[in-house]
Amino acid sequence: MEIKAVWNADKITELAKERFQEERSLNHLEGWFLAKEIQRECDQRFEKDPDCIRIAKTQVEVMKRIPLSIGDYHVFAGTQDDSFARSYALINPAFTVDSFSGYCDPVAVFGDIDPIGDLTKERIEDLREYNNHTRFADALRHAYDLAGEDTSEAIYFIEQVTGHLIPDVRPLLAEGTAGVRAGIEKNQAACEDDRKDYFEAMKIALDALDILADRYRALAEEKEKNSEGEAKERYRLMKETLEKVPAHGASNLFEAIQSFILIWQTMCLEQTPNPFAFSVGNADRIFEPYRAKTNMSREVAAALFKHLLVFFNVADRSWAISQNLLIGGRNVEGEDLTNLTSYALLDAYYDMNLPQPILSVKLHKNTPKELYESLGRFFFTPGCLTPSLFNDDSLFPILEAHGVETGDLADYSVAGCQEPLIMGKDNGNTTNSWLNLGKILELCISGGVSTVTGKKLGKTDEENGCHSKLEVLQNIRQIFYQNVDEYADRMVRSANAASEAIGILQVPFLSTMMGGADSGIDVRDTRKQGTRYNGSGCLIHGLSVVADSFIAIDTLLKERPQDADRLAEALRTNFDKDPQMHEYLMNCKKFGNNEAQVDLEAQEIANRVADIVASKKNYLGNPFRPDFSTPSTHLLYGYWVGATPDGRKSRDMLGYGVDPLYGEAHSGLGFRVLSGMKLPYEKMNGGYASHFGINPGYFRADTLEGKGVEFRDKIINPLFYNPCNPGIQPFYLYVNVTTPDMLRKVLKEPKKYAPSGVYIMRIHGTFVNFLDLSPAIQEDIITRLDMESTSL
């Protein structure tokens, strides 16, 4: 039965919007807890099996027993609700910067569930206690023990990476579980080592997907029996589709979307709770072949995709954040790959305007004008989501220089916020480590004593080879880079231990889509490489603060060298007793104003720190990947950094990603772009973050489409394709097209400016409902609009 024989696009859309409201009304999530209880039972039941077999059998049991339902508005069966807890700090209204302690507690998630019905406090505490004494929990605590006091004030941070990669779903969509299982069996038969067990585990994990589909088929059949008219036909189509997929290959777009949803549900349940930041990859290329098979119209395709988008939204605050979906881009010959599905997905996003999933768009010099016209409605509709933008013309040579094979370049995708990975072939462990340059600089100047807490955390002046503050400032660069290198060594030791901890939790189902079906190796294996590409990420904070600080120190030493001790004391006391010193430092040159001296300083810092990070090796001997992005951690880590020589005060935020510190770039967008040109993007193969707050008043076209082309000419071309830039061009940007006054109006009168209860804004690499955020994050978004830095 064909979807278009059952309903038209309007009816499908109506159901999608009802389905989202239904999901939005859900204010509790317990599925993950039930899955963890089944897991505990299976730990004992299958304790004699190899770990991979036990884990796969556990997934089968979860799929047999997890409660399932199909509602009155479903067009597709499936949900992510059972994989997530109501816990992610940045979209929690109760979040405060000073309360954030990272993700180091392996059982913290049990604090995110409230007793309900027979799920009692005692039952929750019992399961928490069990999980607190698992091999994984012990290993993770060991990783943080290695870090010691270094993480107490965020000199660096580490985490076990759960998601943050892009599975390649295409073989499962095309061949079904039957075809993929047959390939695994062939490789298993040819295998003569212990990988036989892992091949077996992957086959069992595929059984779990088939069980899930069959249970939903039975539910659809029951709904069909009890329905009439349109609903009866809808459930019949669902039942017939689930009889075919995901066991066998999809033949049309409806089947492909249904298969995809259940694959995704199974993958996320394997890592419950909170497998943050799995991403879809190049969705238009994944789904276009199935749309084209029946020549489905753009309107009907868009309507179906609206249901796919709703699937990614979990409960009342769309808790499953940072799942990225890409459209557009080019191939290695430079040919544009935009297709009809690209535009159908854009139509779906624009009409639904949901907090998740993230929309990203690949651009290049030959991107068609039609795509920019289509994007104009996103950028210039108040409260509408805005896509992240990526520059293929820069990323292709960057990735190739870092070892990506030419044939894989077009398949680069974005994990989480903005981290470029190769779909199905790259385990980048992208948020494995976080380095705080601002804190390191503070400790270098203070003699190792935190000016925030007074705690001894670093080297004394003498240990740094100096006998006075003047000598410290005269040698600040040498001291700083030496300390960065030493802290990076300690960070890497702990980060690798965290990777080894998460490696205990093998993922046979995910691995079938990450090269494991051929290799027989788990994607998380820390001794054998299970993916074609592997690395570990390091998110680097404080670039602009350190650059501005070095220039301020140079200026002081040139003009007032006798004030070296005075500067150190002013920093220690947060300028409270020396406002004149604060004013002097604030008047020094700052990054972002096309000042050659400070721009070249930022370039040098980025070069040297990137080289230090890239010289470090992960658990498999592969380089750490420098990533100059700060997903709201510019707030969290800035909270632990004392006053710095650029004039920034204690506990204030650090600069966001590679951007100037807010308020310091006051010469307009042109000068800011010229400053940014000098950064070594070729070394940022882990990614970077950059944000422009754009005043919509600068765009004068009469239509949204015309403003989209204006946006290309005024923002994208000067940034991504600037003829004045002889090096690698920038490759990432996100924007918020609004003003601080507008956002304050939204907060003051939400019913007037956001009657639907949803007003989408960008927050680092994802977009969220502005009204769902804590006051601290709302204020950060408003502050970083920084309109002077982007005036046209």
Q: What is the mean pLDDT of the chain?
A: 95
List, as one string, the DSSP characters of 732-784.
EEEEEES-HHHHHHHHH-HHHH-TTS--EEEETTEEEEGGGS-HHHHHHHHHT
Per-residue confidence (pLDDT) for residue 180, from 0 to 100? 98
By residue count, the chain amounts to 792
Indicate if the pLDDT at residue 5 is higher than 60.
Answer: no
pLDDT per position as a tens digit, 647-685: 999 999 999 999 999 999 999 999 999 999 999 999 999
Please give the residue that has the higher pLDDT: either 4 or 133: 133
Residue with tokens 């040098």: 604
Report CA 452 to chain centroid distance, whole Å: 30
Closest CA to 274 of 101, 87, 137: 87
Q: How far apart are CA 312 and CA 318, in angstroms?
A: 8
**Collapsing DSSP states into helix, strand and coil, what is residue 21?**
helix
DSSP line for 367-399: --HHHHHHHHHHHTSTT----EEEEHHHHHHHH
- 767 exposed, middle or buried (CB, 10 Å; 0-12, 13-18, 19+)? buried
**CB distance 612 to 481 below 8 Å:** yes
Determine contact, residues 169/245, Cβ cutoff 8 Å: no
Model confidence over 514-551: pLDDT tens digits?
999 999 999 999 999 999 999 999 999 999 999 999 99
Average pLDDT over residues 83-96: 72
Q: How high is the pLDDT of residue 776?
A: 81
Helix, strand, coil shares, percent, the chain, to 5 = 55, 10, 40
Cis peptide before 246 (omega within 30 of 0): yes
Q: What is the DSSP string of 240-267?
A: HHHHHTTTS---SHHHHHHHHHHHHHHH
Looking at 82-96, 391-405, 495-509, 609-623, which range is the least confident one? Answer: 82-96
Q: How confident is the model at residue 780 (pLDDT cuts 50, 70, 90)?
A: confident
Tell me the pLDDT tens digit for each residue of 445-503: 999 999 999 999 999 999 999 999 999 999 999 999 999 999 999 999 999 999 999 99
- Summarised one tens digit per residue, pLDDT across range 696-706 is 999 999 999 99
The pLDDT score that the predictor gives to residue 93 is 65
Q: Where are the beta strands (DSSP E) in 101-209?
A: 156-158
662, two tokens: 């807010």
The amino acid at 169: V
Instruction: Indicate the pLDDT class of residue 431, thresholds 50, 70 and 90.
Output: very high
How does DSSP assign 637-677, residue by residue?
HHTT----TTSPPTTPPPPPTTSPPTTS--S-HHHHHHHHH
Q: Where is average pLDDT lowest: 150-159, 284-293, 715-724, 760-769? A: 760-769
Instruction: Taking residues 193-210, report their average pLDDT.
Output: 96
pLDDT digits (tens, 9 = 90+) for 287-342: 999 999 999 999 999 999 999 999 999 998 888 888 999 999 999 999 999 999 99
| SS3 of residue 433 by DSSP | strand
Q: How many CA atoms lie within 13 A of 418 on its CB side?
A: 32
pLDDT, position 88: 66
Q: For residues 650 and 442, is the Cβ–Cβ distance under 8 A?
A: no
Q: What was the pLDDT predicted at 763?
A: 80
Whether 559 has a pLDDT exceeding 60, the answer reads yes
The string over 586-614, giving b where at least 16 C-beta atoms fall within 10 Å of a residue's C-beta and e elsewhere, is bebbbbbbbbeebbebbbbbbebbbebbb
Query: Burial code of 241-271, b = ≥16 C-beta within 10 A, e = fewer?
Result: bbebbbbbbbebbbbbbbbbbbbbbbbbbbb
Per-residue confidence (pLDDT) for residue 1, from 0 to 100: 54
Amino acid identity, position 397: P
Which is it for the CA torsion 644, 649, 654, 656, positive or negative? Answer: negative
